[in-house]
Every structure is written in structure tokens, then in C-alpha cells.
Amino acid sequence: MSDLLLYDTTLRDGAQTEGISFSVDDKIKIARKLDQLGVHYIEGGFSHPSLRADMDFFARMRQEPLQNAKLVVFGMTRRAGVTAEDDPGVRNLVELRTSAAAIVAKTWDLHVTAALRIDLEENLAMIRDSVRFVKAHDVEVCFDAEHFFDGFANNREYSLQCLHAAAEAGADSICLCDTNGGVLPEQVREAVGVVAAAVPVPLGIHAHNDCELAVANTLAAVEAGVSQVQGTVNGYGERCGTANLCTVIPDLQLKFGREVLAEDQLAQLYDVAHYVASVANMPPPERDAYVGRSAFAHKGGMHVDAMLKHPRTYEHIRPELVGNERRYLVSDISGRGSVIFKAQSLDLGLDKDSPQAREIMERMAEMEHAGYQFDGAEASFELLVQKSVGRYQPRFDLEGFRVIVEKDRDGGIRTEATIKLKVNGEEEHTAAEGDGPVHALDNALRKALERFYPQLRGIRLTDFKVRVVDAPAQATAASVRVMVESRAGANTWTTVGVHTNIIEASWQALVDGVEYGLLKSLGEPNATE
């Protein structure tokens, strides 16, 4: 077993992120995913019986327990003037029958006197009584020392008394919390060193990210001797978030040499990060270390050229170690090397000095100057290369389209697109409605083509982005860039269009999306039915 224990609090602290609201099913899915990843502790939610969603979650988890991780319920100490047994939240730490319970308590004297408005001795009694009660029922206790680092700086003697109270009552571990996220790594090292020498209980770290130092503070705590590391997937959490386990885990394993996961589990990290983002209905990690889609993406010409010669030149680890992949982005600054690499992957027989390569670079420079962006629209780039080498075969010829938007006096809006096109000389003329002009145009295009290419039924538009690319002085006459993401099964691709007319820009991106989908499906038109 690893000497470092991973404690995930995505389902509790992560659920306090602005914009996140987990359903019970969401929490179960994420818990199963984290269990498979190899996390040692999974904090599932709060202990108070009034929180029905958390109560339902713990009830369902009792029916189908985790295979590897310990499930933890989170609660506070007893209230002032009430016994632990008579406090519903404390009693539920036992009655929910989880493997472990996290008990949080104030360890900063300011919070005790100003927030709780009790005397310091009563707070110590609340800690002792609550920990002792839960331990008496054979539940593992993780004591969370809230605001510990602020308390340590303000009144070191009292903050240590809080830890001693928990340890003497039987706490199995004590987690030092930077709840405000305001301390520096050197302060963390000093405090952990003092506590490790004074308190004979395994220590943990829970760092918030208000100074963008949660990961750094977590690593500093590990260096100083903690054995439990708390955090969340993708750094979700209150305010600016919590230490990102998707960064902490590979940092510990690949940089510190501390094995916390098996190699095959570490290789699941990219998938876990993106899966949890999807369940949480949050944007996927793009620029995050290790698991971001751009973490191993190369665009600069010098970078790409060197990477094509040796991957260690601009990568600190192999991306597949964390389940990610290397990407070469194409643009007018990435140089011919990137273009050739992409073209070679298409088996088009291009070399760096061929006329076609120069033509592609010149055409790309012109189009990017006009506002196109190919590093985020690789499907459109592939079609550009196909056209440059004479391999592009259009699947249809547009005769024309028309889009009508009508608004009645009651505020109702109706949008219809009419399209006329030919496939192998055969004309198709059809119309379709949609929620907006682009949606209607997409529906009409697919409706016109599906008779000839039935595989289009498996392709759907999944994202649509618009951005003005000209100077503000152009106002409504400015060019716009439209990025369209399409999906077929597990495969996604993005295409781009640019024009001063948003409908035309959308049309360009839609057509490229359809053409690319048909190209990859190798679809030929059906005979006339």
C-alpha cells in the first residue's frame, strides 16, 4: 500500500463550486469512477439528516459499497451545550455506517470567539466529545482542523491544543486545513514540521487555491511529512477551488517518486478529469497541467520542428502516462514541419519542400490573416490539405439556400431554411425549421443529403461558437469566426468558417463538418430511390 493516502472531496467540497449541483446519480457515478481510479478515501457529503440528497446517496452506497476506497461522511463537532449523542449531525456520523467520518472543528481562536461565540475551552470540549463518541462506535475518524494555518499564525498554543484534544480523544488522522487559501509554501512547511513533532497522529493537508498555491502548498506539506493528501478532481471547490488532484497525483508520482497509484490507474487520469467535468456539466479541462487537452499540444514552429525530431525536447513527461496524447497544431506560425507531419499522417506523399506544402502554407497564411483559425479546427485543415493535393471530392454542389426568420406580434419566432443542391447531377430541394437560422440551415442540409448519404443520421452538431475577429471600428460589418463541433459516436471534429455574414460563416463550417464526416465514413451517394 502507498505511504501516501489520497483523499478526494469532489462530492463535498467540489459540490460547493459555483455552477455545480450534483444529483444523487451524479455523485454515485463519480464515486464509482474515483474508486476505479484508486483513490483511498472518497468524501461523499454531509452528515446532517436534513440534507436529503446526501442521505439518499449514503443509503444507496450502502446497498452497493465501493470496491476499494473508504467512503467518508463529513460533519461538524457537537453544538455548544449539547451532548454529542443528542446532536443529530454527530449521531449521523455513526448511523450512516460509512467506513470513516470526517469531523471538522475550529482551530483558529478568532473563529471560536467571533463566529461560534463560545469560549475557547468549550470548543476543546466539543472536539473531545465528538471524536470520542464516533470512535466509540468503531468508525475511523479523520479530524479536519479548519483554518489551522491562520490559527497557528495567530495563536499557536491554542491551535495545537485543538489538535491534542482530537488526538487524545482517538482521532486516527488530523488534516491541517488552509481554509482561506492564503498561506505560502514556506509557512506550510514550518507549521507541518512543528505539528509533526508535537502530535503523534498521522497528518493530512487540505489546501484551498485563493492564491493559486493549493498544489504548491500540498506538495510542501508532503515534503514536511504529511501522509494524507486531500483535494478534488479538476480543483473544484469553494471560491477559487481546492488542490487539484489531477495535478497533485502525477506531481507526487512522476516528480517526487512517491507511488500513489498503479501505472494503469495513473493512465486513467485524463479520462477521469474529463468524465467528472462532463457529469458536473462544467467545461472540460483545456489548459490544465497533465490532463488538459492543450497540455501536450505544440504550435510554435521551433517547438514542432524539435518535437518531430525528439519528443523530450518540449515535453516533461510522456503524455500517455496520464492517459493524454500529443497534438501538433497547425497555423501560420507552426511552420512547414507541422503541416508535413499532419499531411504525412493522411498518407498524401508530401515532403517539406514540395510545391503543395508551400501552397498549403501560403493559403493558410492568407486564411488566418482573414480570421480563420486552424489550430482549433483540424477537420477544416485536413480538407484544405486534401484540396491542395487534388484529393478532395465534393459530395454535393450547392445551388442556393434561403433562411427566413419571422417574429409575430405575440413574440413568437419561427425560423425556416430552404436549400437546393445536386448530388451527382440529381437535384434535391427541401426545407426545414429550427430553433434559429443556423439550426434550421443544418437541419435542411442534412434533410437534403440523407437520401444520398444515410450515414449522416449518425452525425450531430454538438457545439457552436461565434467570435468577432475584426477591429471594433468595423462594428456590425466585422467578420465573424464560427467554430462548429460535430460528433459521430465517440469521434468529434471541429470546423471553421469566416465571413462578414454570420449565416455564410456558419454555412462554411457546417459544410466542412458534413464533408469531413462523410470523408471519414467513406460514404458514397446511394442510387436514386
Question: In this predicted structure, what is the pLDDT of residue 529?
Answer: 41
The whole-angstrom separation of Cα 411 and Cα 414 is 10
The grid cell for 137 is 462506535
Question: In this predicted structure, what is the pLDDT of residue 107?
Answer: 98
Question: In this predicted structure, what is the pLDDT of residue 63?
Answer: 95
pTM of the model: 0.76
Question: pLDDT tens per residue, the chain (529 residues)?
Answer: 568 999 999 999 999 999 999 999 999 999 999 999 999 999 999 999 999 999 999 999 999 999 999 999 999 999 999 999 999 999 999 999 999 999 999 999 999 999 999 999 999 999 999 999 999 999 999 999 999 999 999 999 999 999 999 999 999 999 999 999 999 999 999 999 999 999 999 999 999 999 999 999 999 999 999 999 999 999 999 999 999 999 999 999 999 999 999 999 999 999 999 999 989 989 889 899 999 989 998 876 677 678 778 888 989 999 999 999 987 776 655 555 666 666 666 666 666 667 777 777 778 778 877 888 777 788 888 888 888 777 788 889 999 999 999 988 888 899 999 999 999 999 999 999 999 999 999 999 999 999 999 989 888 888 888 888 864 555 556 889 999 999 888 788 999 999 999 999 999 999 999 999 988 874 445 544 4
Query: What long-range pairs does 364-367 form, CB within 8 A, spacing at least 24?
Result: 364/330, 364/331, 364/332, 364/339, 365/332, 367/498
Q: Indicate the domain borders of the chain.
A: 5-279, 297-388, 397-521
Contact 364/331 with Cβ under 8 angstroms?
yes
The CA distances from residue 368 to 2, 328, 333, 379, in Å, are: 50, 17, 10, 15
Q: What 3-state DSSP class applies to 242?
A: strand
Question: In this predicted structure, what is the pLDDT of residue 528?
Answer: 42
The grid cell for 303 is 517547438
Q: What 3-state DSSP class applies to 518?
A: helix
Contact 108/147 with Cβ under 8 angstroms?
yes
Partners of 224 in the β-ladder: none
Q: What 3-state DSSP class applies to 232?
A: strand
Contact 372/478 with Cβ under 8 angstroms?
no
Contact 337/352 with Cβ under 8 angstroms?
yes
Residue 430 phi/psi, 5-degree rounding, is: -150, 170
CATH class (in words) of the domain with range 397-521: alpha beta
Name the DSSP letter for residue 283. Answer: P
The whole-angstrom separation of Cα 21 and Cα 479 is 38
> CATH number of the domain at 5-279, please?
3.20.20.70
Question: In this predicted structure, what is the pLDDT of residue 244?
Answer: 98
